[in-house]
Amino acid sequence: MSTAKKEVKRVTTHVLQKMKNDGERISMITAYDYSMATIYDDAGIDVILVGDSASNVMAGHETTLPITLDQMIYHAQSVVRGVKRALVVVDLPFGTYQGDSKKALKSAIRIMKESGAHAVKLEGGAMIKDSIERILKAGVPVMGHLGLTPQSIYKFGTYTVRAKEDAEANQLMKDALLLEKIGCFGIVIEKIPAELGKNTTESLSIPTIGIGAGKHMDGQVLVSHDLLGITKEFNPRFLRRYLDLYTEIKGAVESYITDVKQRDFPSDKEQY
Ligand code: KIV
C-alpha cells in the first residue's frame, strides 16, 4: 500500500477564472472558525469567505458595522488553519478602508500577514477605487462586492432588493466594469434582479458570485449559518436551507439535559 500523501490542488484566483471560462459554476460559503472550515473544505467548496457577517451570526450584532479588524483576523486565522484546498477570502470590515487608501492597504496587509488568507473583499465601486488600486498594487488579490452592501445599511435604510430602477442598475454595471478594469479577480453581487445579474455576468470576463442575484451568476455564495438552518428568523426568498440545525442542536441539548437530570448520563460505561 502506498504511503504517499494525496496532493491537494489548491483553488487560486486563476482556477476561478478558468472555471468561469469553462462554464463551471463556483461554490462559495462563509466560515468563521476552524472546525466548520475543515468540514466545508473537506466537502470540496471552492471559496471560503470569512465574512463580516461574523458580526451578526457569531457576535449577535444587528449589523456588520461593529466588527473590528482584530476580530476579523482572529476568525480568519481560525479558518485558514482548517483549510487545505479552498481559496480563503476575508472581508475588510467597516471603517478600515473607506476614504483612506493608505489605511486600506495597512488593513489588507494585516489580514494577509496575520491570518495567511489568500485575498480580501471590499464593498463598493467607484467610491473606493483608490483603496482597491492601492491594495492591488501591493500584490493582494481583491474581490469586489456590489448591490446590497450591508456595511451601507444605514444609507439604504432596508435590506430590500437593490438596483430595481435603471439609474441604480446602470451605476452597478459601471461599477462592475470598473472593478474588472482595475484588476479585481471577482465580484460578489448581492440581492439584485436576476436579469441584471445575468447582464452583469455576461458583460464581465471575471467571475461573478451571486447571493440573491439569480441563477445566471458564475457562482453562488450563502452565509453558512443560513444554509445550515442555525439562524431561524432570517428567511429571504433567495435562501435555500439544507438543514434545520437549530432544531437538531436544540433537540440534542434537550436530550443531554434530561439525561443529566435523570442521572442517566454518564452511565457505568462512560466513566473510569
Ligand atoms: O459577510 C458576508 O457574509 C458576505 C456575504 C453576504 C457575501 O459578504
| Nearest by Cα to 52 from 27, 28, 72, 29 | 72
Q: How far is the CA of 148 from the centre of ligand 1 (A)?
A: 10
Residue nearest to atom 4 of ligand 1 (CA): 51
Q: How far is the CA of 166 from the centre of ligand 1 (A)?
A: 25
For domain 13-241, say whether CATH 3.30.450.40 is its number: no
Q: Report the alpha-carbon distance of residue 154 to residue 162 in Å, rounded.
A: 14
pLDDT tens track for 170-206: 999 999 999 999 999 999 999 999 999 999 999 999 9
Task: Tell whether the torsion through CA atoms of 11, 14, 16 and 19 is positive or negative.
Answer: negative
Give the nearest ligand 1 atom to 64 CA: 1
Q: pLDDT band for position 8 (50/70/90)?
A: confident
pLDDT tens track for 114-135: 999 999 999 999 999 999 999 9
Residue 24: active-site member: no
| Protein residues with CB under 6 Å of any ligand 1 atom | 30, 49, 51-53, 91, 188, 190, 211, 221, 223
Q: What cell was used for 11? A: 483553488
Model-wide pTM > 0.85: yes
Q: pLDDT band for position 6 (50/70/90)?
A: confident
Cβ neighbours of residue 118 under 8 Å, at least 6 residues apart?
12, 13, 87, 88, 89, 141
Dmax over CA atoms of the chain, in Å, equals 70
Q: How far is the CA of 270 from the centre of ligand 1 (A)?
A: 42
Q: How far is the CA of 247 from the centre of ligand 1 (A)?
A: 24
Q: Report the alpha-carbon distance of residue 184 to residue 108 in Å, rounded.
A: 14
Residue nearest to atom 2 of ligand 1 (CA): 51
pLDDT tens track for 22-31: 999 999 999 9
Mutate to test the pocket of ligand 1, among 47, 91, 92 (most ligand atoms within 8 A of CB): 91
Exactly one of 123, 133, 165, 190 is catalytic; name it: 190
pLDDT tens track for 71-112: 999 999 999 999 999 999 999 999 999 989 999 999 999 999
Every domain of the chain and the residues it spans: 13-241, 244-272
